[in-house]
Copies of this chain bind each other. A is one copy, B any other.
Amino acid sequence: MDEKEIDDRKDQLRVVLDTGNRDCIIEALEEFPPAFIIEILEDKTEYEIIKFLQMIEVEEAGRIFSYFSADKQYDLKKTLDKRVFASIFTYMFSDVRADLFQSFQKEEQIEILPYLDKKTREDVIVLSAYEPETAGGIMSTDFATIVINMTCKQAIAKIRHDAPSQKMIYYIYVVNDDMEMLGMITIKDLIMADPKDIVRELYNDNFIYADVNADREYVASEIERHDLIAIPILNSLNQLVGIVTHEEAIDVIRAEQTEDMEKFMGIVPSEDELSYLHTTAIQHFKKRVVWLVVLAAVGLISGVIVHHYQNVLEQLIILALYMPMMTATGGNTGSQAATVVIRAMALQEASEKEWLSILFKEARISFMLSICVGGLVFVKIAFLTSYSLLPDNFTFPFLGFIISLSIALQVMTSAIVGAGLPLLVRRLGGDPAVAASPAITTTVDITGLLIYFGIASYALQL
């Protein structure tokens, strides 16, 4: 759809919502995508939103309410009458509801519980007890179950009877009386089968599942790997306690991506996922300061090296001119190499066991890069430099050779360090993304200065 059409649709919807005609609104709610409805409601005052939520049926209100941002949900909760809020809360998506409940103060949690029916109350308490980074922390309980000795017709009848609007019924889970999961069947299989067939003969007991304590990244990668719409989540007793859907998987993949980029830039990823502008300056500061100060401290080592070679520098002050460019080029080369290697490992295109092929490949790539960068510097120094002071035995071509050789070696070293550091971190059991770009830059600053002054002092015969 192009933007104009999207705007037209939203305008249509806005008009319907503004009429205040209950029947029209209820029909529109079924037809229009929730993302549009939420966008229109977010322009309205809290009073108008509340009026709207009370006008429509409570099941619908629960569903729509689930799509608001966490902040908005909390704001609305504070304004809504307790009893009204409790009934909307009952019909929210189970995973969103548990997240909202977790964000409450202790007193707010206790306050709402008496207004909930037993089933909802238990569901909320159980779900909100899981760690947010685990399968339990992101799962929902909106799934449909059948038992093994039903016919397909009976199974479909049970699903029709059980399933309110939230439930995912594309995969139907087969459980016994103790809620132990025996297998699953897709709604497609149920429909395609003869209505008299027994579930026992059709269901799949070699299903993929995840443990309730599994890392959420693992859960998302299983959904991705097996192209699932949802993955069942089991507890240690093999009981089906929830499902994680493909939508959650996408959210996890996005969050993981942000985390990787932040780590890679030496930013400590935060637990709570507040947006950039909602995070306070002091929180941002805390996420960045550790690495920055650590690296600055390590960077002081580069001063020790320069100090050590002070006499070289004093005799050949022109070396100082190419120092910033040399460290920068090393950092760029190292970061490029680290990026592709970390990415290749994240996408499982390469593993740390292949370190030799990876380093060999980087050696060949960086050899070619070093010729280009070295050549550039040689041409600049040998032919384009007008500089007064050179020691007696030095000519510009000779100096150009010395400096461009150093820079070429620096490019090769940096590529090897950039590719090797993430491999090493992985080998030691860490997350390769922490072999962050700033860490690599700082490392190759040091190796670079050693190469640079080492070669120059050798040439000066000091």
A positions within 8 Å CB-CB of B: 1-2, 9, 30-35, 156, 159-160, 163, 169-170, 187-188, 191-192, 204-206, 208-211, 224-227, 229, 246-247, 249-250, 253-254, 257-258, 261-262, 264-267, 275-277, 281-282, 284-285, 288-289, 291-293, 295-297, 299-300, 302-304, 306-307, 310, 313-314, 317, 320-325, 327-329, 331-333, 335-336, 339-341, 343-344, 347, 349-350, 354, 357-358, 361, 364-365, 368-369, 372-373, 376-377, 380, 387, 411, 437-438, 441-442, 445, 449
Contact = CB atoms under 8 A, between A and B. Distances in A.
Q: Would you call the interface of chain A mostly helix, strand, loop, or mixed?
A: helix
**Could you say which of A170, A225, A320, A445 has the most chain B C-beta atoms within 10 Å of its C-beta?**
A320
23 contacts: A1-B211, A2-B211, A31-B206, A33-B206, A33-B208, A163-B192, A170-B187, A191-B191, A246-B246, A262-B339, A262-B340, A267-B336, A275-B349, A275-B350, A276-B343, A276-B350, A277-B349, A281-B361, A303-B322, A307-B321, A320-B323, A324-B327, A335-B437
Contacts of A169: 188, 191
Given A295-B328, A300-B380, A204 B31 contact: yes
B258 A343 contact: yes
A275 B344 contact: yes
B250 A333 contact: no
Contact of A160 (B1, B191, B224, B253): B191
Given A266-B335, A284-B361, A292-B329, 14 more contacts: A33-B208, A224-B247, A229-B246, A250-B250, A276-B343, A277-B350, A285-B365, A288-B333, A295-B332, A300-B377, A302-B328, A303-B324, A313-B317, A328-B438
B321 A445 contact: no
A266 B331 CA distance: 12
B205 A31 contact: yes
Contacts of A30: 204
A130 to B, nearest CB: 18
A340 B253 contact: no
Nearest to A225: B35
Contacts of A250: 224, 246, 249-250, 253
A310 B66 CA distance: 65
A51 to B, nearest CB: 23
Given A33-B206, A291-B332, A332-B266, A159 B376 contact: no
A288 B438 contact: no
A3 to B, nearest CB: 11
Nearest to A144: B188
A289 to B, nearest CB: 6
Contacts of A34: 226
B336 A369 contact: no
Contacts of A333: 288, 292
B325 A296 contact: yes
A288 B373 CA distance: 12
A441 B327 CA distance: 11
A249 B35 CA distance: 18
Contacts of A449: 324
A331 B276 CA distance: 21
A326 to B, nearest CB: 8
Given A325-B302, A361-B277, A332 B257 contact: no
